[in-house]
Structure 1
C-alpha cells in the first residue's frame, strides 16, 4: 500500500461515522492523478499553504488598523488560530483533521485590506456586491496560479464558502471551522483590545467570566471542552450555560470593541481609500495589471477591479493610493 492508501485505510477504520473520508470526496473540477503520499485533503492543505494569497494575509488587518506593536493579530495569525482550534475539536471528535485544516487555512483568502472596513466599502461601491467568503472561493477557483486556480476538492470549497453565515457547510469539518472562527476571533480580539487599552479583563461581564474563565486560554479551553463533550449525532453544540455566556460575550464585544470609536477611529479613512481606488480603476480599466485586464475583458471591469483590490495587502493599498492621488515633490 502507498502512504496515501494507508492513511485512507486508517480513515475508514477509525474516523467517526460523521467524518468526511478523503476516499469518498466528490472530487475536483479538473480530475487529477492521485498522489502516492498525500490524500486529496492533504494536497489541498498544501496548495493553500503555498499560495500567494495565503502569504498576503500577514499584511492584512484583523481588527485594529495599522496597530503600533508587533503582537496584534493580523489576518494570517487569525487564520492559524482558527486552524489550531478547529483541528483540536476535529481530532477529539474523530473527524477528518486534514479536511478541517485545509478549510481553516483557506477560509479568509479573499478578505480585503483593512478587514471588514474594506469589505464594507467594496460591498457598498460595487454593483456586484462583495462578500469575503465568496471571494475566498473565487481566489482558489479562479485567481490563484495565473488564473488556473488551485483545483481544490468540493468539500474544501464548500467549507470555505459556508464558514461565516447563511447555509451551513455540508461536512462536519466545515461546520467546525465556522465555530472555530467565531471562538478564535472573539477571544483574540479581547486580547488585542486589552493590549490596546480599549478593555480590561474586569470589563467583561461577571457572569461571562464565571462561566468561561477569566483569562484568554481559560475561555478558549472552556469553549472547546464544551463543544467536545456535548456534541453528538453529527450536531455541534455546547452546554446551554456556556453557549449563553459565549453569546453574551459576542454581544459585549460588538458593543465595546467592534463599534468602539477609539478602536475604529481610522476605519472611515480606510473605507474612503478603498472606494477611491475602486472608482479610479473602474473608470480607467486600462490601468489594471495584465492578469486583471484579462478578467476585465471576459467578466467586466467591476469584477476585475474587485479582484484586484480585494487581493491587496494594507500596505499595497496605501502605496497604490499614494501613487495615484498624493502629489510627489518636484525633483527639478
Structure 2
C-alpha cells in the first residue's frame, strides 16, 4: 500500500467543510491535491475557500505554513474516475448516506490502482457496510474519521472493516502520522466509532439536565469549557483521573470514588429528543451566543486551537 512519502497526490471526494479542510492540509504539506464534488458551483466555492492559501496558479503560498517543503498544487477533477486514477490516497467526505458511500466507493475501486488506500471520513458508518461495494480490492477500504477542522485537529480514527487488510490499516496510520495527525486504531467496528460515542454520552446527560430544568444550556457549556474540558484538552480522561488520585493514582480514585460514580451512572438520564427539547436547546445556544456570528466564533476558535497545539507541543503534551 502507498503510504507516507509515497503519497504525493491526495484525492479529496466532497468539498464541504471536512473536504475543504483536507484539501488545505494536503496543500500545507506540499502535496498535489485533486478534488471532486458533483454539486453545482463546487469548484468555485472550493477555490474561494482555499484562496488565502494558494497562488493564482493553484500552488501553495510559500509563506503559509511550511516554506521549506515543495508546494502542492490544487486542481478539480471532472469525474470520480479521473480522481481515482490520479490519487495516491483518497479521502472521501461525501454525504453521510450509506447508498451514496457505496456508489462512490464502487466507482473509486474500479478506477484506482490496487495499492491506493480508499478512506472515508464517515463520522459513524462502519466500513463493512460499504466496503463490499468494492469488488476489486475491498481490502484497501477503511474509515479515517477526522475531527473538524481536520486541518488543525490532530485526531483521526482509523477503522478497518471485515475485509480490510492489516497492511491497509498500517499504511493509513503511517500516512496520517506523516501528515502531522495523531491517529488511533479502532480495533472493532461500532456505530459512531469512539470519540463520537464519548461525545454522545456527554450530550445525552447534558440534554437530560437541560430538559429537567436543572441547568441552562449556557451553564452546561461553562461547566465543560471552564471545568474538565480544560484538563481534557491537555490529558485525556483516564490520565486526568489518574492525576487526581495523588500518589495512589487511578487505583486510589477507583477504590474510593468508584462506588459513588456507579451510583451516578444509575441516575443518568435517558432524554427523548422531542421537538420541545430541540427548541429549548436551540434557543439556549442563541441566548448564549447573543448574536455573535458563527464565522467570528470559528475564527477565534481556530486561532485558539493553533495556540493550544503549540503549547502542548512545547510542553511535550501533544
More helix by share: 1
Report the TM-score when normalising by structure 2: 0.29
Is the strand fraction higher in 1 or 2? Answer: 2
Higher relative contact order (CA 8 A, sep 6+): 1
